[in-house]
Every structure is written in structure tokens, then in C-alpha cells.
Amino acid sequence: MKVLVLGGDGFCGWPCAVNLADQGHDVLIVDNLSRRKIDIDLEVESLTPISSMGDRLKAWGETGGKPMRFEHLDIAQEYDRLVNLLLSEKPNAVVHFAEQRAAPYSMKSSATKRYTVDNNVNGTHNLLAAIVECGLDIHIVHLGTMGVYGYGSHRGATIPEGYLKVEVPQPDGSRFEEEILHPASPGSVYHMTKTLDQLLFLYYNKNDNIRITDLHQGIVWGTNTAATSKDLRLTNRFDYDGDYGTVLNRFLMQAAIGYPLTVHGTGGQTRAFIHIQDSVKCVQLALENPPEQGERVKIFNQMTESHQVGELAKKVAALTGATLNYLPNPRNEAVENDLIVDNRCFLELGLKPTTLDDGLLAEVVDVARKWADRCDHKRIPCISAWTSTQAKAINKAS
Ligand code: NAD
Ligand code: USQ
């Protein structure tokens, strides 16, 4: 299959592209390298040293992998080039990772809020409009987020895979049943862009019959996959800073360098998780099982387990001897929430979940220890506050 991987230089996109090439697909990576530029602006680097795209592709070829190509293109800004690329490549599928994905970064300032909305919503819309303009039948596999459902109380209800069955009361007292998109309840500007993506997909699927799979992914942890471990130049990025580092990888890195684990609030927040190896496998399964022509947007919950943040910190502490530091929460989020998730679609397609076992956690700690001297401790605190109320609380504590 010919596949364009938009955002294929990023944390989830790079191992996904490598895996698809490893499976024999013809892969073209499209990326504007904006993530590398944001690192420069934030004065931080991936904990693991990452090679340039040129060196990554050369290394992949040298390991005997099926060659991949790269196009430097901004999907949110360079619409005509995107159309020409689709027309010349005529891919069977496009995997769309190319968005600004950090909630804290999206909440830093009006400039980062506006950038996140412009980049993410325009990028997704450009892709949809370009596919219609080209008149090609291209399956889009998009990386969305579990955060579209919101992290308030679901009152013990199981979160379905995208669609909620509702009963609509009629004036005569009768009721009819229908399935609607699960109500959106974003917790940051970044998460809000993913809820807007969902509406764009709903519309273009209905109006233009575009085949779309939207993957509502949980927090990805780990760093390398079997394929990216084949050569040091294939190493994946490892974000640990207060903006881009995600909770479990941050805790594992903090444990590795003897930094008290940064638990926000009481640690009662429950979130969904998935290991990077399973994330790449899920994308592959989604590509291999496209929706039929005329089928509504397929939505999969791409997660394998849920955990409370504070419980995760305790688990990492038990494994490594780390201490816990309960901090004022910079985010405006529920102190505690329940999270029961239906993820049957991927299990039925054959996913064998990699769960949080001590061996894999220890492997990430080892990676972090190896590169500990690259860590800039000043970049660890989360200083991006959701509102002035949170800003006051974190300033008082620091
Ligand atoms: P990332 O920031 O590491 O990668 C995103 C890539 O897209 C970067 O290489 C960036 O340069 C590129 N990009 C951004 N805007 C672009 C544009 N306009 N044109 C071309 N390229 C552009 O992020 P990631 O962690 O790999 O996440 C990828 C996707 O998966 C995102 O959409 C994110 O929302 C989703 N996701 C990630 C996680 C996670 O834990 N990392 C969890 C759930 C969902
Ligand atoms: N948290 C801490 N300590 C930290 C960092 C975070 O307690 O040092 C807490 C946060 O307050 C939050 C939870 O951990 O309650 C998760 O934070 P996160 O940064 O790990 O994850 P999030 O902001 O939700 O975003 C990440 C990815 C995003 C993806 C999302 C999936 O950056 O791209 O969409 O996970 S999900 O969480 O399922 O919405």
C-alpha cells in the first residue's frame, strides 16, 4: 500500500512510519519539522538525541529496511503543494499525525492558543478539501485523542467508541433511538482542536464520502519500538519538559535522575494509556481494515489501560525508590474522575495489549538514565497555567 505519513518526524509518527515500511508498505513522510523548531524556541531538546531526517532515512536504508522518502511541507499553510503531492503520489491512505499536540503548550499564551487552532484545524481541513479536489479515494487515518470525551464524571458509564446511543423523546411520549457523536468536552485548547477535527470528519464523510478512521488515542508511553532500536540514528524522541513531556514518561525520567515525581494536585486524575509499540500496531491495523465506501467515520478508542496519575507515581516510586512531590495543579481539571473505556474494536482486530509491566517501565528508566546528562532540570516544572487562578497558585508555591 502507498501511504503518506503526515507528521512522520514526530514521537508517534516516526516509529509508525518505520513500522509501515517494515511491513513492506511504500512510505512517504510529510512533515514541516515544526516540532523541532518548537524545541529550539522552548530551549529544550528531546532527552534522547534524535538524528536529522536525512540521517534517519539513510540509517533505515542501511538496516535493510524498505526505503522511505521525505517531503518538507506544511499541511496547514501550503495547500497547493499538498494537492499536487496527492495528485502525483495517488496514495491509498494518509496517516495524519501532523498537529500541535501538547495541551500545556496550547495554553501558554494567546499566541500558542492561536497557533494550535490555526495549525490543527487548518491542517485537517486542508487535507479533507485537497482529497475532494483531487477526486481520489484515499483513506484517512487520523490520530485523535481520548480527551475529546472529557475527564469529568461519566457516572460510571463506559465510554463508547465514538458514538453514543441516545433515546430522543417525541411530543407524543414515544421515543426513538439514534447514535450521535459522543458529546465533546475538551480540557484544553489543544483538546478542543481535536473535537473540531471530529466535526470536519463527520461533515466530509457525509458530504463527500471520504473514508475516515479517527483513532482516539490515550497517553503514549515508552520511546523506542523493535524497529527503531535497530540503529542509534533511528532513536525516537523522548519529551520530558513541562510542556511536551507526558505524565508517565516524565515520572520514569524523573525517577531515573532522582527528581521527586511531579504529581499535580491529589493525583486523582484518571487517564488512558498505550505503549508506543501498541500505538504503531493499532495504526497498522486501522490501515489494513478501512471503512467501506459510504460507511460513517470509524472511531476506535486507541488505549489499552486506565490509571490514576497518583497511583502511577506510587508504582514508579515502588520500582525505583523515587519520592513523590504533590504540586498545585497548573491545569483547570477535575481533581478526580472515573474512566471506563470500551476498546473492543482493536481487540477484535487482534491487538494483544502491552500493559504496564515492571520490565517495560524499567526499560524506559534505563533509557532515561543513559541520557540523564542531557536533561535540563530547569525545563522539568510545568509552568503553563490554564487560567490566572492556577497561575497564582503555582507562583505562590515556587
Ligand atoms: P509530535 O509533536 O511529536 O509530532 C507531530 C509531528 O507533526 C511533528 O513532527 C511536527 O513537526 C509535525 N507537524 C505539526 N504540524 C504540521 C504541519 N502543519 N505540517 C506538517 N507537519 C506538521 O506529536 P506526537 O506525540 O507524535 O503526536 C502525533 C499525533 O498523535 C498528534 O495529532 C497527537 O494529537 C496524537 N496523540 C499523541 C499522543 C501522545 O501521547 N504523544 C496521545 C494521543 C494522541
Ligand atoms: N500530570 C501530572 N504530572 C506531570 C504531568 C502531568 O500529574 O508532571 C497530570 C496532568 O495534570 C493530567 C495528566 O497527568 O491530569 C495527563 O497529562 P499529560 O501531559 O500526560 O497528558 P495530556 O495533556 O492529556 O496530553 C497527552 C498528549 C496529547 C494526547 C493526550 C491523550 O500530549 O497529545 O492527546 O495525552 S489523553 O490524555 O487521553 O487525552
Note the pLDDT tens digit of each residue in 301-358.
999 999 999 999 999 999 999 999 999 999 999 999 999 999 999 999 999 999 888 7
Ligand 2 atom at minimal distance to the Cα of residue 264: 7
Chain segment 138-151, per-residue pLDDT in tens: 999 999 999 999 99
Would you give the DSSP letter of residue 312? Answer: H
Closest residue by Cα to atom 1, ligand 1, is 10
Q: Which ligand is nearest to the CA of 304?
A: 2
For residue 128, name the pLDDT band (cuts at 50, 70, 90): very high
For residue 154, name the pLDDT band (cuts at 50, 70, 90): confident
Closest residue by Cα to atom 5, ligand 2, is 247
- Rounded to two decimals, what is the model's pTM? 0.98
pLDDT at 156 over 90: no
What is the Cβ-side half-sphere exposure of residue 25, based on CA atoms within 13 angstroms? 24
Task: Point out the residues that are catalytic.
Answer: 145, 190, 194
Q: Does residue 148 have its Cβ closer than 6 Å to ligand 2?
A: no
Q: Does residue 5 have its Cβ closer than 6 Å to ligand 1?
A: no
d(CA 317, CA 260): 9
- 35, 36, 70, best to mutate for ligand 1 pocket (most atoms within 8 Å of CB): 35
Would you state the pLDDT for residue 152? 83
Q: How confident is the model over 233-241, as a mean pLDDT?
A: 98
Q: Is 384 within 8 Å of 105 (Cβ atoms)? A: yes
Number of domains in the chain: 1
Q: Is 140 within 8 Å of 212 (Cβ atoms)? A: yes
Domain range enclosing 315 = 2-397
For residue 155, name the pLDDT band (cuts at 50, 70, 90): confident
Least confident segment among 9-18, 19-28, 149-158, 379-388: 149-158
Q: How confident is the model over 120-131, as a mean pLDDT?
A: 98
Would you give the DSSP letter of residue 181? Answer: E
pLDDT at 383 over 80: yes
Query: Is 220 strand, coil or helix?
Result: strand
pLDDT at 81 over 80: yes
Phi, psi of 331 (to 5 degrees): -100, 150
Q: Does residue 271 have its Cβ closer than 6 Å to ligand 2?
A: yes
pLDDT at 215 over 90: yes
Would you state the pLDDT for residue 373? 96
Distance of CA 35 to the CA centre of its chain: 13
Q: Does residue 143 have its Cβ closer than 6 Å to ligand 1?
A: yes
Q: Does residue 9 have its Cβ closer than 6 Å to ligand 2?
A: no
CATH number of the domain within which 357 lies: 3.40.50.720
